[in-house]
Amino acid sequence: MSTSPHPHGTPSTAEDRSRVHHGIVIVGGGTAGITVAARLRRAGAPDVAVLEPSGTHWYQPLWTLVGGGQAPLRASLRTEAEVMPDGVHWLRESAVSVDPATRTVGTASGRTVSYDRLVLAPGLRLDPDGVPGLAQALGHDGVTSNYLPELAPLTWELIRDMKSGTAVFTMPTGPVKCGGAPQKIAYLAADHWRKRGVLDRIRVVLVLPDTAMFKVPEFGRVLEDVALRYGIDVRLRSEMVSVDGAAREAVIVNHATGDKETISYDLLHAVPPQAAPEWIAGGPLADPDSPFGYVKADPATLQHPDHPEVFALGDVANLPTSKTGAAVRKQAPVVVANLRDSLRGRPLRARYDGYTSCPLVTARHKMLLAEFDYELKPAPSVPFVDTAKERTDMWFLKRYGLPQFYWHGMLKGLA
């Protein structure tokens, strides 16, 4: 797809060719960006552009199952062209700056894209350099991460081949996408080893920075029982602060006491620290209260409080809720409704209540569905089903139902 034509015909100068204007510019062609773009087109928005450099679109929630040997990586993949809504101008470039004063976005090629309204949905960035030694160790010497698609198959290979030793699963401080993923793979690995009769020969260490296994007590208690069932050594208020890949050693700090321990591992599943893209974190739209540089946004309207022509959703928005695709599903219609009201000069009426959900896989065919809002109150959406219990039907929902819902519902602007 190409950009819209120049308003005065074919550009005649290099300066003209380097500038383009669209009514609504969406930065990011991932879950949030495509869902908003599709909804805007269905609502009749005439001039929508998506800035997205990648030709690949991933359904990232499936990567945990890839790492657990329950799904092929190819099932999580589509081309970006397949998911780009009809009638949307795809600007296949990276955003590198934003100037809300002039309502412009700068791109890596030097182009300037101006807008009437801006939607920020570029996702977040992984920062393996935030843990000394991790960037160098990933993909080698028993170190893997389901947060990188090229390494998710390696996770399964390492789990499948392990018969004894120490397996360490870590989570960093700060918001991460799908906050349950760091521990889901530990449960899948332990369940596999239990079924193979080798779990009693494997020490499983789960390192979590929080004070509880899950911030919603109703689900945290279930996960405590799951960890106990597998004999997992859970380290709360703890974090991996360095890795020596060649020596296969990880240093874990206990934030409660300040004590450090060096653990020798045979398998290390590490979740890299995560933060906003650097051009966001260092720009004028970042929330000064966010140490990770996420975009400032009203928790209810998702509008930037200081720049009302800007909206943010998805992983990049600094909202007090978990960063999940389920959150995006509830945020997208709010952004679209409020964008339309904003363009018409009306008060913003749509509200987001913080709903998010985290499918917590606890065994090969078992899952509980943690759904909650800003107040950390359970917000169940499946009638007559207790999703706080481990259930086989919930696992089938995650493996088969939710991907179809994603490709054919969310990304089409239908759900």
Q: Residues with catalytic annotation?
A: 178, 358
Cα 62 to Cα 76: distance, rounded to the nearest angstrom: 6
Q: Is 34 strand, coil or helix?
A: helix
The residues pairing with 169 across neighbouring beta strands, listed in sequence order, are 206, 269
Cα 372 to Cα 374: distance, rounded to the nearest angstrom: 7
Cα 144 to Cα 270: distance, rounded to the nearest angstrom: 6
Q: Which residues, other chains included, contact 23 with Cβ-Cβ below 8 Å and sequence gap of 6+? A: 45, 46, 47, 48, 115, 116, 117, 343
Cα 283 to Cα 290: distance, rounded to the nearest angstrom: 13
Cα 69 to Cα 9: distance, rounded to the nearest angstrom: 54
Give, in order, the Cα–Cα distances in Å from 282 to each of 135, 138, 293, 297: 23, 27, 7, 16
Q: Is 280 strand, coil or helix?
A: helix
- DSSP string computed for 134-185: HHHHTTSTTEE-TTSTTTHHHHHHHHHH--SEEEEEE--SS--BSTTHHHHH
The residues pairing with 269 across neighbouring beta strands, listed in sequence order, are 144, 169
